[in-house]
Copies of this chain bind each other. A is one copy, B any other.
């Protein structure tokens, strides 16, 4: 799975600009595949060269021309091929869990700080996803897949939040036991 294939999905039913594409990413699959302008625009250029899309330039006053991209027959074929190809394995990266693994080297209160930091970020993300869900519910175009994708994102975040809250509920420092750990810990406090 790469950014080109996901873009094909978005423009499969509706032509749009790179700017609009970014919005579509953000309000749908961003939780499972993020995209930035610097990823989208070069991808669109490659895709045009490969014949997967056609560009229509619409001049505007006071701002750059709109580049409306439309999927071609070749693009539809390419998207269908993607759907038939083997799933690429999921990837996850979590700085929190990596640090947690090395918890014995953490200073006092440090783990708690990480947990709180992650909790705040996740709470914000959850707010954003709930907001999108409300938007999706008010949009007659929304189908069950969009809704359930959002809901899976929300459920995952809430799962992680529960873990974080359980960890926080443990007494601060309760994880650290034994003199060895404490010695190691001091070394990292400098």
Residue A60 lies at the interface, judged by CB distance under 8 Å to chain B: no
Residues of B within 8 A of A1 (CB): 93, 95, 98
Per the bound structure, the CA–CA distance linking A98 and B83 in Å amounts to: 10
Question: Known: A87-B114, A98-B1. Is A105-B93 also a contact (CB below 8 A)?
Answer: no
Residues of B within 8 A of A159 (CB): 155-156, 159
Residue from B6, B29, B163 within 8 A of A152 (CB atoms): B163
The answer on a CB contact under 8 Å between A9 and B105 is: yes
1/0 contact string of A149-190 vs chain B (CB within 8 Å)? 100110110010001000000000001000001001001111
Residues of B within 8 A of A101 (CB): 9, 28-29, 32, 145-146, 149
Residue from B97, B107, B144, B163 within 8 A of A175 (CB atoms): B144
Residues of B within 8 A of A76 (CB): 187-188
Chain A interface residue bracket vs B: 35 or more
Residue from B83, B90, B105, B188 within 8 A of A188 (CB atoms): B83
Count of this chain's copies in the oligomeric assembly = 2
1/0 contact string of A27-66 vs chain B (CB within 8 Å)? 0110111100000000000000000000000000000000
Per the bound structure, the CA–CA distance linking A189 and B81 in Å amounts to: 9
Within 8 A of B (CB), among A122-167: 143-146, 148-149, 152-153, 155-156, 159, 163
Residue A117 lies at the interface, judged by CB distance under 8 Å to chain B: yes
| 5 new A-B contacts at CB < 8 Å, known A92-B93, A145-B175 | A9-B105, A33-B94, A90-B95, A91-B93, A152-B163
